[in-house]
Amino acid sequence: MELQTLTTIVVGLTFALYIGIAIWARAGTTGEFYAAGRGIHPVANGMATAADWMSAASFISMAGLIAFKGYDASIFLMGWTGGYVLLAMLLAPYLRKFGKFTVPEFIGDRYYSQTARIVAVICLIVASITYVIGQMKGVGVAFSRFLELDYDTGLYTGMVIVFIYAVLGGMKGITYTQIAQYCVLIFAYTVPAVFISLNLTDNPIPQLGLWGSLSDGTPLLQKLDATLVELGFAEYTAQKGGTLNMVAYTFSLMIGTAGLPHVIIRFFTVPKVRDARASAGWALVFIGILYTTAPAVGSMAFYNLAKTVQPGPVAAADGALEYEARPQWFKNWETTGLLTFNDKNGDGRIQYRNGDTNELKVDRDIMVLANPEIAKLPNWVIALVAAGGLAAALSTAAGLLLAISTSISHDLMKGIFMPDISEKGELMAARVAMAGAILVAGYFGLNPPGFAAQVVALAFGLAASSIFPALMMGIFNKRVNNTGAVAGMLAGLGSTLIYIFWFKGWFFFPDTAMAANTPDNHFLGIAPEAFGAIGAIINFATAIVVSKLTAPPPEHIQHMVEDIRIPKGAGAGIDH
């Protein structure tokens, strides 16, 4: 069957499944919309959390980063998985025991302050909107290639799909939809990886194939190192960035993971405190399947790309691929504008080199989606990858939009400005807020400040610098008061935003950047994506110092903090 027809059928069937689940599990109460009625089994919640977590950045962009950055991209593997250990041990059970619906609600009650709650909402919206931009970029990339739409039309299509099933189902519908999406995306990710590993190394297990040898007996990684050096790049397995930046980047991703609101609220959906910790464990298992496969996918994708455009020796005049002889997959991706060739020397051949002589520009976000085509796998595998990429982007986008809408409807309207609003009115407000968030995310998706994983890393930095410290001190430091918490969140978020905008442009408009985004201009060589770790230190320090200089929290708040850490039951869930 023709690829276009097959892809349309596969993607259409998965979309029909998602929308059908949303209609079946439509939320009828705020408890179902915000927390799925607190009745999700920990294994199911772990799978839904994994889908919520494994976004376009994980599915589409992370392997692309590994392909082009090699060893340096290991920070994503370590940061994004290590954060779940922090989440399981330090946050999830305690927040579930507190029994609220949202992160700002916990912060508002713990710090006995509506101001703290409002600041937490601002932090949540800033981080979540930034994160959802990356998902919109992934949706646009996948649609533009596999449904042969232009990028903008693909993005609009994805916005409509997310709107339908996220607005209808709330957390209840999103949870069951995400379980289906996990099954789709993990199957779509691992099947082509098995095929490609088998083709290159004769080993069907990608995790082992990465350390295997090619048909000529040369280890795959050794061959990659030699190929890159020949093309003028640094070795694939060599560290290329500064150590301090890598450490800060890893910590930013780790604590950003533990502070992301759309992940945290998933642990409010289980019946008991013990289930919250179990959910985090199961999520890590389900996530690990993809994350241990990603290095093999990235490495093999890059090897196949290099072998395609440079089939002969670099020194030979005819070593590079003739542009007119380029394969069909190359032509397919050219139509999207995400793969471009500029014949600088006019020889009609594709010179892929490091430096100004390079004639090939490859968007890193296409590597996973293009990988099956480059490896000449069957059309059904290519269609499956398209469906998986869309599932990854849409599942996370839905979770983020829910976090944004609940913070607006529950924390701002119900909690502060309109406490007497009816349950029906609150549900409507949540759905309207979600629609507004989709429109904002769509706009920035049309004008993204980077590739998907880069945008997501910025969101992690914002969560790391604002929300994570407030949660940690709220649970483990009873002396931190409302003044300190508000000052800390504002200092952490403000410093991180200013640093990001300084190099990325104010509010992500590139023309307004104050300095070139190069290592030489960075503070201690720390990239904007890694600054969240520094912002978190600023948050902790500010909150603790200000709290020491001001009155301690009331006695009942200090007792409440101690009670949260006592490993006893959560009691009944609180509905509104």
- Residue 432 has what pLDDT? 84
**pLDDT tens, position by position, 132-159:** 777 777 677 667 666 667 777 877 877 7
**pLDDT tens, position by position, 189-225:** 888 889 889 988 989 999 998 888 888 888 999 988 8
Lowest mean pLDDT among 24-33, 194-203, 329-338: 24-33
DSSP run (H or E) holding 339: strand 339-341
User: What's the mean pLDDT in 476-505?
Assistant: 90
**pLDDT tens, position by position, 155-183:** 787 778 777 766 665 666 677 777 888 88
Residue type, 337: G
Q: What percent of the chain has pLDDT over 70?
A: 88
List 341's β-bridge partners, or say none. 360
List 339's β-bridge partners, or say none. 362
Alpha helices in 202-272 (DSSP H): 206-209, 220-230, 243-259, 261-264
Average pLDDT of the residues of the chain: 81
Higher pLDDT, 501 or 29: 501
Three-state SS for 245?
Answer: helix
**CA quadruple 171, 252, 452, 107: dihedral, nearest 10:** 30
In terms of residues, how long is the chain? 576
Residue type, 185: L
CB proximity list for 497: less than 8 A, separation 6 or greater:
126, 462
- Residue 576 has what pLDDT? 45
**pLDDT tens, position by position, 229-258:** 888 888 888 888 788 988 998 988 888 888
Three-state SS for 325?
Answer: helix
- Residue 492 has what pLDDT? 92
- Residue 568 has what pLDDT? 57
pLDDT band at 480 (very low <50, low <70, confident <90, very high): very high
Is the model's pLDDT at 382 over the cut of 70? Answer: yes
Residue among 365, 306, 11 at smallest CA distance from 188: 11
| ∠ Cα 310 343 148 (to 5°) | 80
**pLDDT tens, position by position, 61-76:** 777 788 888 888 888 8
Residue type, 471: L
Domain 3-303+376-575 has CATH 3.30.1600.10: no
C-alpha of 276 from chain center: 21
Residue with tokens 């009155």: 551
Q: What percent of the chain has pLDDT over 90?
A: 9
Contact 389, 318 (CB under 8 A): no
**pLDDT tens, position by position, 498-553:** 998 888 878 767 778 888 878 888 888 898 888 989 999 999 999 999 999 999 99
- Residue 1 has what pLDDT? 67
Is the model's pLDDT at 442 over the cut of 70? Answer: yes
CA distance 241 to 538: 24
Q: Would you list the domain boundaries of the chain?
A: 3-303+376-575
CA distance 84 to 80: 7
Is the model's pLDDT at 573 over the cut of 50? Answer: no
